[in-house]
Amino acid sequence: MRAAEKPDFADAVRKVERANYHIDEFHRAAAAHFAKHPTSVSMVPAKKRAAHGFLVGDRMGFPDKALALYVGDAVHNLRCALDYLITACAKANGGREDRTEFPIVKAGGKKADLTKGLWKLKDAGPLATELVKRARPYPRGNPYLVAVGELDRFDKHRLILAVQSSVDISVRTGGWNNRRHSVKAADQ
């Protein structure tokens, strides 16, 4: 094995840039969809005196599936960038590039499970191993890295449908005090 060189992370940076492109496209497409006000909210009186309910309706159906493609492509590029970092370290270290991977413990796993995946860093060298350990790619360490790993795995088999809605409701009630009541709810 030759003396370690400085790793070239340019390919990993390009993958992150590509992920950002997909994230920007997602925001653009989602903003266009939600600008059409795809849901409706109406107050429905209940049978009990002085009680009201809210009916939230879906006027347009689920957004274009392209939103799911943007999410999947962004996640894949982020996951790939992590592997590119380790591959660059292996190349600079004179190791084999085809046996390297950034290990991420699956959801439900434990910190101890990371030890099983560290063999994937053998050719990348001790500095890469230390950096991965510090990144804590296990559920109770860095749940964001675990989420990237899980979402990338899911996206290989089916579309990732990102669904979140939030409702901001302001209700003006009549009566003697004319109070204004605000309700905020987030449904995920």
Neighbours of 113 (CB within 10 A): 16
pTM for the whole thing? 0.72
R_g of the chain computed on alpha carbons: 24
Quick one: DSSP state of residue 98? T
Residue 165 has pLDDT above 80, yes or no: no
Q: What is the pLDDT of residues 91-106, one digit of tens each?
A: 999 998 888 999 999 9
Return the closest-CA partner of residue 80 out of 146, 133, 11, 143: 11
* pLDDT value of position 3: 56
pLDDT value at residue 144: 95
With tokens 């939103």, the residue in question is 67
CA dist., res. 55 & res. 114, Å (int): 47
Find, among 84, 64, 111, the residue nearest to 18 by Cα. Answer: 84
Cβ burial, residue 116 (10 Å; 0-12/13-18/19+)? exposed
pLDDT value at position 36? 80
CA distance 139 to 170: 38
CA distance 34 to 39: 9
Query: What average pLDDT does the segment 50-67 reach?
Result: 66
- DSSP letter (8 states) at residue 97: S
The number of beta carbons lying within 10 Å of the beta carbon of residue 90 is 24
The pLDDT tens digits for 110-148 are: 999 999 989 999 999 998 999 999 999 999 999 999 999
Residue 24 is which amino acid? D
**What is the model's pLDDT at position 1?**
45
The secondary element (H helix, E strand) that includes residue 166 is strand 165-172
